[in-house]
Amino acid sequence: MEPSALMEFVREGFVFLRPYPYLQAVLLITFFLMLAKFVDLLCTRVVRRIVSSTKNHFDDQLVDLLHRPVFTTVAMLGLVMATYRLNLDPEIEENTVDALKTILIVIWVWIGLPLGPDAGLYYPS
């Protein structure tokens, strides 16, 4: 199947789903959860293989620390896109997206706290 034929098939599928915004939202969330899992596997397998070849242990700990927030970020992006697909009241839509962004900021700050100088992680001198 040619790429243009595939794009036409996808476009036709979205035209078919146009009257069903809740189904579109569910499909978007499902797609982004699968994408998040793929990115997580890529992060844990490929990147870990690369950083395990170094003598420095900090990068190993960093990969361990970052793989969950990266998964969450990709999944939350799907939630944001699904929120926009639902065509909610603009104020509710804005508040929902802002809440999701705030949750992401809290997650990244929470993950960043152990990276401070007193965290006990190995820092090369």
Per-residue pLDDT reduced to its tens digit, 41-78: 888 888 888 887 888 777 777 787 788 888 999 999 99
| pLDDT tens readout for residues 84-121 | 888 899 999 999 999 999 999 998 888 876 665 555 55
pLDDT (0 to 100) of residue 125: 47
Residue 104: per-residue pLDDT: 93
User: Going by C-beta distance under 8 Å and a sequence separation of 6 or more, which residues neighbour residue 108?
Assistant: 69, 73
CA distance 5 to 12: 10
How far apart, in Å, are the Cα atoms of 95 and each of 36, 59, 85, 88, 98? 24, 37, 15, 11, 5
Domain boundaries, the chain: 20-114
> Are 103 and 76 spatial neighbours (Cβ–Cβ below 8 Å)?
yes
